[in-house]
Amino acid sequence: MTSTRPVSWPLARAYRAPSTVIRGREFRWGARTYVMGIINVTPDSFSGDGVNADPGAAAALACRFEAEGADILDIGAESSRPGAQELDPAEELRRLLPCLRAVRAATGLPISVDTYHASVAEAALEAGADAVNDIWGLRRDPDMAAVAARAGCPVIAMHNQRGRTFHDVVGDIAAGFEATLAIASGAGIPPERIILDPGFGFGWTPEQNLEMLRRLPELWRFDLPLLVGTSRKSTIGLVLDAPVDQRLEGTAATVAFSIAAGADIVRVHDVAAMVRVARMTDAIARAGWRQPPAL
């Protein structure tokens, strides 16, 4: 006779700190999934949603995302799609700062700045950004860690596999995280201010991207919150044979799976839909829903 036993879901996670406060808002790790809305102020965003350095459009998008339930906004002025032109920091700031100031005036949501240039990060933090989102995990610009340390701000540090020798998906990500944490420690950034991103879509094959999501629980060992950004990316397009404007369902599937596998923040373009996906997945994976009492 086959026996059954109760299933505990999800497995218990530990965090070095129970929460992080960003612009007065507490992000309580493990309590629920937080949704980050993407604001691209670029003319060449892969997803076709760039506002092309238009402050009014950036502010309007920020207000829409806030109304749709975003917890944090991520604003960037340089496309990170494969093959995109690398910007001079001066040009990046020319695009970024007017939009960032407009977004800051329009909303009280926390804002992270998506940049790997220390000078851009420093200027953005002075202009109202609250955190740094570095796609090179403090490993590209040697001054980035010092800027973040002086500001005392949270850092979202991604492992970027581009240009690196492949060995093993999780092994390479873990090695990247360890290098990032060593740099942060040397600069005086405590691990409690760091959010880790495994870098979906950055230097991986489609098969490796999918393996990354399956093996996400192996990265729990760092005891730090995880951010996952799969939204509209090419792996989804390849699996579904879908152009970028038809990847909503594929994004929803990857977001739900990432949450069940331990993601604490999901970075998305379609905020309203993904807020619902996160809420539903949390109700299952985090046991975070209770039926309201009858009136």
Please say if 25 is a catalytic residue.
no
Q: What amino acid occupies position 159?
A: H
Instruction: Count Cβ atoms within 10 A of the Cβ of residue 57 and give its class: 0-12 exposed, 13-18 middle, 19 or more buried.
Output: middle
Determine the 3-state secondary structure of 190 from DSSP.
coil
Please say if 247 is a catalytic residue.
no
Spatial neighbors of 237 by CB under 8 A, at least 6 apart, are 243, 244, 247, 250
Side by side, which strands form the sheet with 131-134?
Answer: 194-197, 155-158, 131-134, 111-114, 72-76, 34-40, 265-268, 227-228
Spatial neighbors of 263 by CB under 8 A, at least 6 apart, are 33, 216, 226, 227, 228, 255
Pairing of the two strands 194-197 and 227-228: unpaired
Catalytic residue among 5, 233, 279, 286: 233
According to DSSP, the residues that pair with 35 across neighbouring strands are 266
- Is 157:180 a contact under the CB 8 Å cutoff? yes
Catalytic residue among 267, 276, 279, 290: 267
Instruction: Return the axis-axis angle of helices 118-126 and 144-151, rounded to nearest 10°.
Output: 20
- The whole-angstrom separation of Cα 176 and Cα 173 is 5
Spatial neighbors of 292 by CB under 8 A, at least 6 apart, are none
- The whole-angstrom separation of Cα 174 and Cα 186 is 18
Active site residues: 233, 267
